[in-house]
Amino acid sequence: MEQRRPLLTEQAMTGSAGHITSSWRYERLEGAGHWMQLDHPEKVSELLLDFFSTVWEAPLVSR
């Protein structure tokens, strides 16, 4: 089977920080594919809520 080269490398992702002037964070999810929100829905939700809580002044409502 042919090995595919990644189109977006981890180095390219982490290097994006130098081009962003607002809040930004890189997280790596082991075992997640292109649709990481389907592969790891709980972890993606946890990371999003944590990130939003650091950039928004209003508190997030937990359900």
| Residue 56: pLDDT over 90 | no
- How much is the pLDDT for 34? 83
Mean pLDDT value across the chain: 83
Q: What is the DSSP string of 15-45?
A: HGGGG--S-------TT--TTHHHHSHHHHH
| Residue 47: pLDDT over 90 | yes
Tokens of 50: 């944590």
Q: DSSP 3-state helix, strand, coil percentages of the chain (rounded to 5)? A: 45, 0, 55
Question: How many CA atoms lie within 13 Å of 57's alpha carbon, on the beta-carbon side?
Answer: 0
24-45 pLDDT tens trace: 888 999 988 889 999 999 999 9
Cα 48 vs. chain centroid, distance in angstroms? 8
